[in-house]
Structure 1
Amino acid sequence: MSQPPMTDTRSGMDRSGPITFDRTLKGLTGIAVRGFLLSLVTFGIYRFWYITELRRYFWNRTIVDGSPGEYTGTGKELFLGFLVAVAILIPVYVLIFIATISAPWLAAFGSVLSFLVLYVLGQFAIYRGRRYRASRTLWRGIRLGQDGSAITYALMAIGWSLLTLLTLGLAFPFMRASLERYRINHTLIGSSRMESTARGRSLLLPWLAFYVVVLLPIAAALIAFLVAADFTIPDDLFIPKEGGKPGETEFNSDYEGTPIATFGELFLTTLGITIPLGLLLIPFYRARETRLFMNAASLGPVRLSSTLKARQFYWPYLVYLLSVIGFVLILGLVIGGGGLLLQAQGMESGFHWALLFGMAFGYLGGALFFAVLYVRVITARLWAAVATTTVVENAGGLDAVLASSRRVGSGLNEGLADALDVGGALEVGF
């Protein structure tokens, strides 16, 4: 008796599932223009609906293993969550103010105290905001989720931040990897839990490139300046400028040729060199970090595999920068050419009106142009770069993911992040 042919039960499991994104961006410009204008006339209130519309647009056009994502959040949820968060934050600000008045010795540390309190709340809000977005995200009808403790996450962020300060920034990649592991390890897709194996040592070399070129020279120049000044900056280092406007100051010439002036100039020169270099290195580090975090994420046997390159992060920023430069040059030529024409015709008053109109048009038109450009060039291209360079390995394992009946989070989860300005409309990456 012949045996029936054996079927390869692993063939479906071993297949790779592509992630695609619609690069045509049809309709995105209209969303950005409408969002900007309505946010302007509503004094920022419409931005909650604008954020929601952007998320729905990007989620729906991201296809994972043949199925699009779905975002079910609403602008109303974000707006009400923001109002509740503001109502919670006002007493916090009042308590800080009362504390600095009641205890005179705290007055000198009022700004530091405010920063520390808001930093802790900010980290708490970042985690809760991600929980809200996860609970409003579906794929194949399966809802995502996030458990874990926002308080634990905030305490971890505080501890790692202190260690980063004590190590003069060397612990930064380890902090990023640790916080990423906590976020992913508490991310749920239906009833299945994700896992991350991200490690800081894998980020150490790209971070050291940034550290050696940017942070180390700044720290060295600052320490040299403080040593030259005996760790005390003279009160009369800058004096009121003679004949200047109220509050306008100038460098005190009595300190010319002193170590304070020499090392102060060295520090400013160092900033002028390293800051542009730092801006050039940030996309490189972000691309390496994003690729590492994507490759470290898994869902049981299902894994993500990213081939993201740094140049795919550089290109959007370069296009954006060149577009901004081009817009400024064209606007300057239009205003300048119109002004020269009016002056040549002896219309001095017309020149002033043209100048005012040009400035107003340039401000509003430029703000609209940059808002649309940022969404189309920076956000969309970075999103597409991450999505299209990632594939789902062992994608057949996704068929075993079951839906969950967990309760969805409230809009307050992200309202606090928005009130503290630590939330983002879109996050590139998982």
Structure 2
Amino acid sequence: MSIFAKPLEFKGQSSEYFGIWLSNLLLTIVTLGIYSAWAKVRRKQYFYNNTYLEDAGFGYHATGLQILKGRLLVLAGFLLLNLLATFLPVLYGFVGLALFFLSPYLINLSLQFNARVTSYRNVRFHFEGSYWEAFLAYIVMPFLSVITLGLLAPVAVRFLLNYVWSRISYGGHSIDTHLSLSDFYKLFGVSVILPVTGLFVLATVLMTLSFTRPESAFSDNYAMASIAPFLLGFYVYIFFIGFVYRIFCMTLLFKGIAIPGAIRFSNTIHPGRLLFILITNFLAIILSIGLLIPWAQIRQHRYITENIATHASTDFAEFVAEAAEKQSAFGEEFADFDGVDLGL
């Protein structure tokens, strides 16, 4: 059967989103951060509702109260741990260990929540995870990445993406993942190893120059003044590399996920163009003292969205109708979902 492509479309506008962003910022400041939960809902609803596939936007159905409850639970957990560490250190160890082993379960709850509050054409997504696979994805694999000095990092990232996305379904149709490990190693080498190695060499050169100055010109204050700008730049660069790596992992993801017998995805995101957008967005935000954040977010989201396409091997309307019927059969049609967003 012939496969036809249908690109995603983003209909949001910077001028329109600026009002939402500014009101969110001001209300968050006035309420000492409490409104940030509702701000997150407004932001996600704007981007979801304006992202179109086949002339229909996506939906985001979480409430600010659900997100606030989740944040309060996480905050209470941190406060409890701090109090126990201060006054009952022995009990702190047991509680900390219990939370450590509980974390995969809590992460699955968060993934389930985020899938459940997302919809397309009134059909909700669903996530069904397993505790031990989450334990491997979020605890064991990252640990192995650390002790192998990053050599297993691509394996860990691929395992994590496989776990999360293969457990998502839409109207009873599960998502299948075929992610190439070699692609993740190539991305890891280009995006992480080479830049970090270059920064390490640069750091060595700068520190050598700093500490080989004539004795009369050298002082502790001089050494710190010469190194401090580099350290600041280093941390900013590492943050930027992590951000870029995350986005490029997403581009690999959309090459390898599909709903068998119905839809597969593709993307035409050009790494050079995306890097240019990210760098110029960052500079625009800095030079505008943050006022161009809405413009930068819209610009980035539009480029990524409009370079992702779906390829349907079946009638799309029939596929969605079948998904809606399966959802109704399971009694999931827009029933209230009493979950909380733990932000994990």
TM bucket normalised to smaller: 0.7 to 0.9
Change (3 A) 1:281 1:36: closer
Change (3 A) 1:166 1:60: same
How far the C-alpha of 1:299 sits from its partner, in A, is 0.8
Larger Rg over CA atoms: 1
How far the C-alpha of 1:380 sits from its partner, in A, is 2.1
Give the SS at the match of 2:314: helix
The yes-or-no answer on 1:163 pairing with 2:144 is yes
Which residue in the other structure is 2:245 paired with? 285
Q: Deviations over 1:31-57 (max 9, x none)?
A: 001100011110011111111011111
Which of 389, 397, 401 is residue 307 of structure 2 equivalent to? 389
Which of 302, 323, 329 is residue 402 of structure 1 equivalent to? 323
CA contact 1:63–1:69 (8 Å) conserved in 2: yes
Which residue in the other structure is 1:326 paired with? 287
In 2, Cα distance between equivalents of 1:269 and 1:71: 42
Q: Deviations over 1:263-308 (max 9, x none)?
A: x9xx999968866765665565344322111111111121011111
How far the C-alpha of 1:119 sits from its partner, in A, is 7.3
CA contact 1:135–1:408 (8 Å) conserved in 2: no
Q: TM-score, normalised by structure 2?
A: 0.77
CA contact 2:14–2:294 (8 Å) conserved in 1: no
Which residue in the other structure is 2:72 paired with? 83
The yes-or-no answer on 1:188 pairing with 2:169 is yes
Which residue in the other structure is 1:153 paired with? 134
In 2, Cα distance between equivalents of 1:325 and 1:89: 32
The unaligned stretches of length 5 or more in structure 2 are 204-218
Q: CA RMSD in A?
A: 3.8
Q: Bigger CA drift: 400-409 or 58-67?
A: 400-409
In 2, Cα distance between equivalents of 1:221 and 1:27: 43
How far the C-alpha of 1:313 sits from its partner, in A, is 2.7
Identity of aligned residues (%): 19
In 2, Cα distance between equivalents of 1:75 and 1:172: 35
The yes-or-no answer on 1:64 pairing with 2:53 is yes
Which of 374, 380, 389 is residue 293 of structure 2 equivalent to? 374
How far the C-alpha of 1:159 sits from its partner, in A, is 0.8
Q: TM-score, normalised by structure 1?
A: 0.63
Which residue in the other structure is 1:138 paired with? 119
CA contact 2:6–2:311 (8 Å) conserved in 1: yes
Q: Bigger CA drift: 136-145 or 177-186?
A: 136-145
In 2, Cα distance between equivalents of 1:100 and 1:207: 40
Change (3 A) 1:205 1:119: farther
In 2, Cα distance between equivalents of 1:37 and 1:138: 29
Change (3 A) 1:96 1:201: farther
Which of 316, 321, 326 is residue 277 of structure 2 equivalent to? 316
In 2, Cα distance between equivalents of 1:185 and 1:94: 39
Which residue in the other structure is 1:7 paired with? none
CA contact 1:185–1:195 (8 Å) conserved in 2: yes
In 1, Cα distance between equivalents of 2:266 and 2:306: 11
Q: What are the equivalent positions in structure 2 for 1:27-426 lying under 5 Å apart?
A: 27-98=16-87, 100=89, 125-149=106-130, 152-216=133-197, 251=220, 278=238, 281-282=241-242, 285-301=245-261, 302-327=263-288, 366=289, 370=290, 372-377=291-296, 379-394=297-312, 396=314, 398=316, 399-400=318-319, 401-403=322-324, 404=327, 405-406=331-332, 409-412=337-340, 414=341, 416-417=342-343
How far the C-alpha of 1:63 sits from its partner, in A, is 0.6
In 2, Cα distance between equivalents of 1:135 and 1:39: 26
How far the C-alpha of 1:99 sits from its partner, in A, is 5.1
Give the SS at the match of 1:138: strand
Give the SS at the match of 1:303: strand
Change (3 A) 1:167 1:411: same
The unaligned stretches of length 5 or more in structure 1 are 1-9, 107-112, 223-249, 253-260, 328-365, 423-430
How far the C-alpha of 1:216 sits from its partner, in A, is 4.6
In 1, Cα distance between equivalents of 2:129 and 2:336: 14
CA contact 1:123–1:154 (8 Å) conserved in 2: yes
In 2, Cα distance between equivalents of 1:65 and 1:17: 7
How far the C-alpha of 1:164 sits from its partner, in A, is 0.7
CA contact 2:278–2:300 (8 Å) conserved in 1: no
In 1, Cα distance between equivalents of 2:313 and 2:294: 31
CA contact 1:218–1:271 (8 Å) conserved in 2: no
How far the C-alpha of 1:309 sits from its partner, in A, is 1.4
Aligned length: 318
How far the C-alpha of 1:188 sits from its partner, in A, is 1.1
Give the SS at the match of 1:16: strand
Q: Deviations over 1:346-384 (max 9, x none)?
A: xxxxxxxxxxxxxxxxxxxx4xxx1x522330x322222
